Amino acid sequence: MPDEKEQRYDPAAIETKWQERWAADPVLYAAEPAGSSKPKYYVLEMLPYPSGQLHMGHVRNYSIGDALARHMWMRGYNVLHPMGWDAFGLPAENAALKNNTPPREWTLGNVAAMKRQMQRIGFSYDWRTEVTTCLPEYYRWNQWFFLRMVEKGLAYRKKSKVNWCPECATVLANEQVVDGCCWRHEETRVEQRDLEQWFLRITNYAEELLQGLESLEGWPEKVRTMQRNWIGRSEGTEVDFFLEEINLGPRDQGNKEPEKQGSGVRDQGSERRRIRVFTTRVDTIFGATSVQLAPEHPLVAAFTRKDAGLRTQVAGLIDEQRRAREAGDVGAIEKHGVPTGQFAINPYSGETIPIWVANYVLMEYGTGAIMSVPGHDERDFEFAKKYAIPIRRVIAPADPRAEEPELPFTAEDGVLVNSGEYSGLSCAEAQKRLQEVAARSGFGGAKVIFRLKDWGVSRQRYWGTPIPMIHCERDGLVPVPDAHLPVILPEKIEITQTGGSPLARVPDFVNVTCPRCGGPAKRETDTMDTFVDSSWYFYRYTDAKNSSAPFGPERAEYWFPIDQYIGGVEHAILHLIYSRFWTRVMRDLGMIRNSEPATRLFTQGMVIKNGAKMSKSKGNVVSPDEMVAQYGADATRMYALFAAPPDRDLDWQEDGVAGVSRFLARVWRLTARHAAKARSVANGTNNACATASATAQKLLRKMHQTIARITLDFEGRWHFNTCVAAIMEYVNALQEADAQLGSDEISAGVVRELLLTLALLLAPFAPYLAAELWEQLGGEGNILRAPWPKSDPGLAKEDEIEVPVQINGKLAAVIRVAAESDGKTMEAAALADEKVKARTAGRTVVKVIVVPGRAVNLVVK
């Protein structure tokens, strides 16, 4: 046996050796094509942005996915485990400004660097299916999809108020505004600007996206709830209040493009003007004592045209609301309002009530107008108190004996009072009746509205997918023909941060001929939001080299839906709702059959250090490269799994990595000591259990128990921290029996089985060391595809077990009994125990509860 000193565990040497060997086999991690006899398993981790440096969050995310992928391979599945790069985005432009490096060069350099890091750690990706979203062979399909959406009316252009980040000099989606600030610039207030923008009609799918969440049982409840709230479905009623006819001067045409969710003003020829409100509590409408308009409501402009005083006051409200929105505390500002001096008529009661403008009414939600019912709504109550607007009770408790509750009374299980012919009806019944009346009489009806808005995808930046549209003076907006795709992003370009889109300053790009009339025309210079790229990238993995379509339908059909998707919870809304939308669009284009991209989603916790998220500004960043250099890739990734369950935040402690590294060294030495003995017998001769010694049987029992524990965790619980702990326990048991492993007491066949199994159990977590051990022990074939060990329940079972004996629920003694003991035997053993006897002396045992194999409890008086 070689001197142990020369056999020091040297992770760098082992890992480099295997990395080279595995790199030489390009199909090592390749999935088999559709039609494979094996069941398919698609495991996917969210693709990173190529910043240039892998961080610990990546390492954790990919270590989880990698362990799962490796396990599934060993279980005999046909595994698809791909990786790619979310490579468009602003940082490349910033870097270009700072270092004068072209974005493409910078990005691809980062991709190469991070790929090296991933390969060094040994993640099992099939690099032949790598997807890089900034390359034309990928983004041309973004353009292709965009054109399909234009054809289907799912992509459209409109002028709208947009979120503008002055730092990015671009528009942000609603989803990218956090607390009134840019998601990438937490200090930068987002401004509101009016611009012509491209939108995708995600609201067409609002109902379905909401319904679909019900079926996603494999997704965390938290994510489903967040999406539910984001979609924000609300059932209610729209009601038109008639405007008391007054002199407004020339008819106002303010609202030329009606909002999808209902317009503020209807001008129906000779009919009277109306204000449409949305309410979820139409049953309280007899209690409406004012109508409140959002300050930006088109009708307000008409009212203020002749009233300079009102105009000033409204401007003040708008300003206040804007400032609050930018500060991110819209909910915190005090409620203010101004009476317009105009009146509206309640269509049910004919009552005339004043019209106000109020800063707590939002133009973006509902119709931008509400009926104010101070008796039965908290906000309206607060407002009415402040301005001495009448407060009226129109709902009473269902139980007539109940005391009259204080106002505002917002419960919905009451009955109507003071509500004309509707008095006496329950709230629910009244809502139904009032909706029917409104619909029949043409002044409203039932209505479902959503908080979700269409997805603004235009960006005035360079480093993104060019939107394939052409502006022709004669033909208007003309789509680029499919045959002209891709619209290539020009490479020679001067990046600036101001002055609009950099693309607009590239004449070669901008000036084209119109595909329709052949006349001079200009290209659209907006690029697409990068979330477009990540909305469908995982389909491309199934057919990454396809140059005639985004992917072949038969491949998507085979691999989808994704069996397990793994990533950070920060994508719970943005990426995960966009990709659910995109999947449905592709389904409706006939490209796929599934409606959801992934059946199971796992969101791992953050990696923190000293109680805070790792960040450069806090100076608590731990570099994966340093960890790998010091302790090896195996120790680094195994620690990432060992330190906490995957769904919880993980506090990075370098001492812990050192501990895992020492553990791996112990495994290494243990194997080195007994490798020769293990190698001395061939495979298949190792089933020596029947004749094995007591020590051997004990170790084999521990082995089977360990296999069972780990296998179970892979099947769903995913507490990989306890999997690693179980392996450690197993190794501790082997080490305690070190002398016997080396002696005749344990046969070579058993030693071989014990150690080969150890290597197999380690393979998902520490693949390099596992491969090395496998080779030293003379294991057959490639350990990566060796079958996962099976636990034999018979061999895993203990002969004798320890059972607690409780007296009145308190622990009194622990007895040893045979594992299969029945209740009577256990009871007898418990009563025979000295400690139990002492405690029960002179008292009566009233009852004995025996849980076979578990516990004995004596109820004693």
Site for RNA in 31-50 (CB under 7 A): none
Q: Which of 386, 329, 320, 331 is nearest to 356 (CA)?
A: 386
User: Whose Cβ is closer to RNA: residue 31's or residue 650's?
Assistant: 650
Q: How far is the CB of 605 from RNA (least distance, A)?
A: 8
User: Whose Cβ is closer to RNA: residue 2's or residue 26's?
Assistant: 2
User: Whose Cβ is closer to RNA: residue 213's or residue 371's?
Assistant: 371
Q: Given CA atoms 449, 451, 457, 459 in this order, what sign does their dihedral have?
A: positive
To which H or E segment does residue 410 belong? none
Contact in structure between 535 and 581 (CB atoms under 8 Å): yes
Binding piece for RNA, criterion CB under 7 A, among 70-78, 161-169, 674-682, 848-856: 848-856
Q: How far is the CB of 861 from RNA (least distance, A)?
A: 12
Site for RNA in 376-415 (CB under 7 A): 377, 379
Contact in structure between 465 and 527 (CB atoms under 8 Å): yes
How buried is 834 (Cβ within 10 angstroms: 0-12 exposed, 13-18 middle, 19+ buried)? exposed
Q: How far apart are CA 586 and CA 565, in angstroms?
A: 19
Give the DSSP letter of residue 386. Answer: H
Looking at the DSSP bridge assignments, the partners of residue 804 are 814
Q: How far is the CB of 657 from RNA (least distance, A)?
A: 9
Q: How far is the CB of 9 from RNA (least distance, A)?
A: 9
Contact in structure between 724 and 731 (CB atoms under 8 Å): no
Contact in structure between 184 and 173 (CB atoms under 8 Å): no
Among 127, 144, 365, 387, binds RNA (CB under 7 A): 365
Q: Does 431 bind RNA (CB under 7 A)?
A: no
Q: How far is the CB of 699 from RNA (least distance, A)?
A: 15
Helix (H, G, I), strand (E, B) or coil at 556: helix
Q: Does 222 bind RNA (CB under 7 A)?
A: yes
Binding piece for RNA, criterion CB under 7 A, among 199-207, 248-256, 371-379, 436-444: 371-379
Q: Given CA atoms 171, 174, 175, 178 in this order, what sign does their dihedral have?
A: positive
Among 343, 360, 539, 765, binds RNA (CB under 7 A): 360
Interface pattern 683-712 for RNA (x via CB under 7 A): ------------------------------
Site for RNA in 715-774 (CB under 7 A): 719, 721-722, 724-725, 728-729, 731-732, 735-736
Helix (H, G, I), strand (E, B) or coil at 278: strand
Site for RNA in 816-845 (CB under 7 A): 835
Site for RNA in 482-501 (CB under 7 A): none
Site for RNA in 302-341 (CB under 7 A): 324, 330-331, 333-335
Among 232, 490, 552, 823, binds RNA (CB under 7 A): 232
Cβ neighbours of 287 (radius 10 Å): 27
User: Whose Cβ is closer to RNA: residue 115's or residue 233's?
Assistant: 233
User: Whose Cβ is closer to RNA: residue 360's or residue 560's?
Assistant: 360
**Rg over CA atoms, the chain:** 35
Q: How far apart are CA 76 and CA 497, in angstroms?
A: 52
For residue 611 the two structure tokens come to 């109680």
Site for RNA in 95-114 (CB under 7 A): none
User: Whose Cβ is closer to RNA: residue 97's or residue 811's?
Assistant: 811
Helix (H, G, I), strand (E, B) or coil at 19: helix
| Residue owning tokens 């070190």 | 738
Binding piece for RNA, criterion CB under 7 A, among 109-117, 131-139, 279-287, 750-758: 279-287
Q: How far is the CB of 356 from RNA (least distance, A)?
A: 12
Q: How far is the CB of 477 from RNA (least distance, A)?
A: 31
CA atoms within 13 A on the CB side of 839: 19
For residue 415 the two structure tokens come to 């009955």
Binding piece for RNA, criterion CB under 7 A, among 277-285, 339-347, 422-430, 596-604: 277-285
Q: How far is the CB of 409 from RNA (least distance, A)?
A: 15
Q: How far is the CB of 155 from RNA (least distance, A)?
A: 25
User: Whose Cβ is closer to RNA: residue 119's or residue 791's?
Assistant: 791
Q: Does 56 bind RNA (CB under 7 A)?
A: no
Q: In what order do the strands lie in the sheet with 612-613?
A: 612-613, 607-609, 650-651
User: Whose Cβ is closer to RNA: residue 198's or residue 360's?
Assistant: 360
Site for RNA in 620-679 (CB under 7 A): 630, 642-645, 648-651, 653-656, 658-660, 662-663, 665-666
Among 58, 274, 276, 281, binds RNA (CB under 7 A): 281
User: Whose Cβ is closer to RNA: residue 28's or residue 859's?
Assistant: 859
Q: How far is the CB of 415 from RNA (least distance, A)?
A: 19
Binding piece for RNA, criterion CB under 7 A, among 185-193, 232-240, 464-472, 685-693: 232-240
Cβ neighbours of 655 (radius 10 Å): 6
Q: Does 359 bind RNA (CB under 7 A)?
A: yes
Quote the Cα angle for 213-218-221, to 5°.
Answer: 60
For residue 552 the two structure tokens come to 């072949």
Q: How far apart are CA 601 and CA 218, in angstroms?
A: 6
How buried is 400 (Cβ within 10 angstroms: 0-12 exposed, 13-18 middle, 19+ buried)? exposed
Q: Could you check whether the bond before residue 486 is cis, i.e. omega within 30 degrees of 0?
A: yes
Q: How far apart are CA 298 and CA 294, in angstroms?
A: 9
Q: How far apart are CA 214 and CA 204, in angstroms?
A: 18
For residue 738 the two structure tokens come to 């070190």
The one-letter amino acid at 191: E
Among 16, 211, 229, 680, binds RNA (CB under 7 A): 229
Q: How far is the CB of 1 from RNA (least distance, A)?
A: 14
Q: Does 809 bind RNA (CB under 7 A)?
A: yes
Site for RNA in 578-597 (CB under 7 A): none
User: Whose Cβ is closer to RNA: residue 313's or residue 359's?
Assistant: 359
Interface pattern 445-484 for RNA (x via CB under 7 A): ------x---------------------------------
Interface pattern 285-304 for RNA (x via CB under 7 A): ---------x----------
Q: Does 423 bind RNA (CB under 7 A)?
A: no
Site for RNA in 542-581 (CB under 7 A): 569, 572-573
Please give the C-alpha separations between residue 57 and each of 48, 451, 568, 651, 847, in angstroms, as whole numbers. 10, 32, 8, 11, 55
Count the site residues for RNA by CB under 7 A.
86
Cβ neighbours of 327 (radius 10 Å): 14
Among 295, 347, 354, 368, binds RNA (CB under 7 A): 368
Q: Which of 127, 342, 115, 98 is nearest to 241 (CA)?
A: 342
Q: How far apart are CA 858 and CA 850, in angstroms?
A: 9
Q: How far apart are CA 41 and CA 79, in angstroms?
A: 5
Q: How far is the CB of 658 from RNA (least distance, A)?
A: 6
Site for RNA in 157-186 (CB under 7 A): 178
Q: Which of 239, 291, 238, 282 is nearest to 412 (CA)?
A: 282
User: Whose Cβ is closer to RNA: residue 103's or residue 368's?
Assistant: 368
Q: Does 153 bind RNA (CB under 7 A)?
A: no
User: Whose Cβ is closer to RNA: residue 219's or residue 541's?
Assistant: 219
Write out the E strands in 743-828.
800-807, 810-818
